[in-house]
Amino acid sequence: MTQSRPVYLKLRDQIAAAIIEGLYPEGAMLPSVRALAAEQGANPLTVAKAYQQFQNDGLVEVQRGVGMYVVEGAAELLRKRERDLFLREEWPEIRARMQRLGLKPADLVEQS
């Protein structure tokens, strides 16, 4: 992962991780745009852009005047997407580095 990623994508990743980890379970209301912006020290428009991606992907549902809620199945869908992304983009680099260093998966398990 690069450090030059846009802030809204970093926020999106943080929110996705919170949904996957159950901090925002299915049916839970996400923090308001202003509350999350204040908490993260981000521009509210940046938070709104991150939230819009979740809405476009069908992972949250907006109830006008009330808030944004995590839909049923969102955590599993996000987990699958994150897993696929990891295997496609991050794992090949990790595997190549392990090979360069002469590390085997068992070596990593021993370190845990």
Distance from C-alpha of 75 to C-alpha of 89, rounded to nearest angstrom: 21
Distance CA 96, CA 102 (A): 10
Q: What string of pLDDT tens digits covers the 112 residues of the chain?
A: 446 888 889 999 999 999 999 999 999 999 999 999 999 999 999 999 999 999 999 999 999 989 999 999 999 999 999 999 999 999 999 999 999 999 998 888 877 6
Cβ 75 vs Cβ 25: under 8 Å: yes
- Other beta carbons within 10 Å of 77: 17
Q: Do 76 and 61 contact (CB within 8 A), yes or no? A: no
Q: Which domains does the chain have, with CATH numbers?
A: 7-111 (1.10.10.10)
Q: What is the pTM of this model?
A: 0.81
pLDDT at 109: 85
